[in-house]
Structure 1
Amino acid sequence: MRRNEFEMTDKQELDQFLNEMSFGFLGTSSDDDYPSITPLNFVYCNDSIYFHGSRVGEKMTNLAARPKVTFNVAKEYAVIPSYFTDPVFACPATSFFKSVIIYGQAVIVEDLKEKALVLQALMTKLQPEGGHKPITGDDPEYRGRLKGVSIVRIDAERIVGKFKFGQNKKEEELASVVDGLLNRDGEYDAETIELMRKYCPHFKSSDN
């Protein structure tokens, strides 16, 4: 990564972010040599990314032929206007975000118990209120459905995390950004300030 100050290597931080998120982008290689991007829901279990879908289709064809994939999850917390730190030039305009890119091998899951575990975890994430019969691998009412659905596991070989929250900014710039966020009071602005406090080495003195 070109800017080391934004690199996130702490596994606990990466795991927490992946567990919070439910939507990502799968990158595969197609027959025509164009990269293919598929947006989809996912769940992070046992250090692997899982997603489900039909047994047929472009992504499954690509995975069968070329199982090396990438998977990206990102969340933008705040757009930082240039005028927060510079009243004239547009150059300082940026955004603060978290992003994780996973490089790995896609594996088609056939074990019904593993399939059930993944689908139940996905339901717990997307439908935490319940309202459905729990999914188990030994339930005869689910067995046919489990056999019919495709579950893919991405076994990570490399994970690149980038958490950008102004770590490269000076104390006075951070103070100006905080003032701008407080005055704007957008949906994620208060959370962004807390993340700046957490990740920025110069933030403490700007919080006086």
Structure 2
Amino acid sequence: MFREMRREKQNLPEEECINVLQRGTSGVLAVSGDDGYPYAVPLSYVYDDSRIFFHCAKTGHKIDSIVRNEKVSFCVIDKDSVVPEKYTTYFRSVIAFGKARILEDEAQKRSAIEKLTKRYSPEQAQGHLQEIDKSLPQLCMIELDIEHMSGKEAIELVRRRT
């Protein structure tokens, strides 16, 4: 179903893909947009147990696209260092494929937004609980259940590790 990576030596092991997703603070969600055009949008997220969570408005292009087609991809760039003298970049990135769904259950929504707020505001425990209580009714949370992921890094980074 999913293609194998052509340059196998540059393939990141699963545990390193997970590390990249845990380190990242933003990624790009790609959906099947209007009139067959791809739609890719950067967003903040949190990774937890083979799932990616993010929040968004209850209406708009992203939600319409997910409702129409739950299959999405999500890309996180962990490293992107331009090396001009070598005409290359030293990169590391992960792409995850899966199905996205709108969380309707209040307990699931609360759990997801708590993970997200802890990720971005770990020092603000009391403040984020008050904010969650206030905004939960109008909040839209999306869960992306990862079915496949792959990571790749520049061959120069592979050589440094080995």
| TM-score bracket for this pair, using the shorter chain length | 0.7 to 0.9
Paired with 2:56 and 2:79, the residues of 1 have a C-alpha distance of 27
1:159 equivalent to 2:149? Answer: yes
SS of aligned partner of 1:62: helix
More relative contact order, 1 or 2 (CA 8 Å, 6+ apart): 2
Aligned residues of 2:25 and 2:44 also touching (Cα < 8 A): yes
The TM-score, its normalising length taken from structure 2, stands at: 0.86
Identity %: 29
Aligned residues of 1:26 and 1:69 also touching (Cα < 8 A): yes
Equivalent in the alignment of 1:93:
87
User: CA offset at residue 107 of structure 1?
Assistant: 1.1
The TM-score, its normalising length taken from structure 1, stands at: 0.69
Paired with 1:51 and 1:96, the residues of 2 have a C-alpha distance of 28
Higher strand share: 2
Closer/same/farther in 2, CA of residues 168 and 126 from structure 1, 3 Å limit:
closer
Equivalent in the alignment of 2:123:
129
AA of the residue aligned to 1:52:
H
Paired with 1:135 and 1:112, the residues of 2 have a C-alpha distance of 14
Equivalent in the alignment of 2:107:
113
Matches within 5 A, 1:53-202: 53-82=56-85, 92-130=86-124, 132-135=126-129, 142=133, 145-164=135-154, 166=156, 196=160, 199=161, 201=162
Query: What runs of 5+ residues in structure 1 fail to find an aligned partner?
Result: 83-91, 170-195, 202-208
User: How many residues align structurally?
Assistant: 158
* Structure 1 runs (4+) greater than 4 angstroms displaced: none
Q: Which has the larger radius of gyration?
A: 1
Aligned residues of 1:70 and 1:104 also touching (Cα < 8 A): yes
User: CA offset at residue 77 of structure 1?
Assistant: 4.3
Closer/same/farther in 2, CA of residues 52 and 78 from structure 1, 3 Å limit:
same
Equivalent in the alignment of 1:205:
none
AA of the residue aligned to 1:8:
L
Equivalent in the alignment of 1:184:
none
Question: Which stretch has the larger CA shift, 126-135 or 154-163?
Answer: 126-135
